[in-house]
A and B are shown apart, each in its own frame.
Chain A
Amino acid sequence: ELKVEQNPLFLSMQEGKNYTIYCNYSTTSDRLYWYRQDPGKSLESLFVLLSNGAVKQEGRLMASLDTKARLSTLHITAAVHDLSATYFCAVVQYNNNDMRFGAGTRLTVKP
């Protein structure tokens, strides 16, 4: 069964600092998604990673995928308050439509 683990679950950062969120998954896949969710809101798609070694960047966020290690990372560079939100990774099981989500990382960026 596909399991997705994120860590840390809670992250409090100072503005201007860098940090990485990790997403591990348990079975073969090369479809990994990162989403952002603000409190009380729906999910917003950030990145779609489709192959081993894929790297995507948008502003202060960069996501990468290592399918051999079954690991994706979301790197935050020089954090700003606007990045405060919960970030989810989600993995689609090989040749399947079953998308499994991690528990989410609640990020708080403090001035």
Chain B
Amino acid sequence: NAGVTQTPKFQVLKTGQSMTLQCAQDMNHNSMYWYRQDPGMGLRLIYYSASEGTTDKGEVPNGYNVSRLNKREFSLRLESAAPSQTSVYFCASSYLKGLWQGTYEQYFGPGTRLTVT
């Protein structure tokens, strides 16, 4: 099992450009999440998908859109990148439909380091 995979690993964008970060998991997990991590801070939830076909906003959703393409894949799109979106982006997945239910923790991907100039 590859676990949670993310592409690309690194990306540099100019202000105003758009891009999509890809995430896939092969653990048959129901829920998937996108976080951003800024220097000296913990992770902040951008969007999550409790199950295929549903998405919900997290703590910092502005400037982002998501698509839960199928059970395996959850993408994050920046329509018009801004320097404030320079960050490391982590995708995660968990088995149960939502973190509140049960014991299952999240499994994280390796991260995408995004720089917006």
Contacts and interface: CB of A to CB of B under 8 A. Distances in A.
A97 B100 contact: yes
Main secondary structure of the interface of B (DSSP, over half): loop
Contacts, number: 60
Interface of A: 4, 31, 33, 41-45, 48, 50, 88, 90, 92, 94-104
A35 to B, nearest CB: 8
A48 B106 CA distance: 10
A45 B106 CA distance: 7
Most buried by B among A33, A92, A101: A101
Contacts of A97: 31, 48, 50, 56, 98-100
B95 interface: no
Interface in B5-56: 31, 33, 40-45, 48, 50, 56
Contacts of B74: none
Given A42-B90, A45-B107, A103 B50 contact: no
B42 A102 contact: yes
Given A97-B48, A102-B42, A43 B99 contact: no
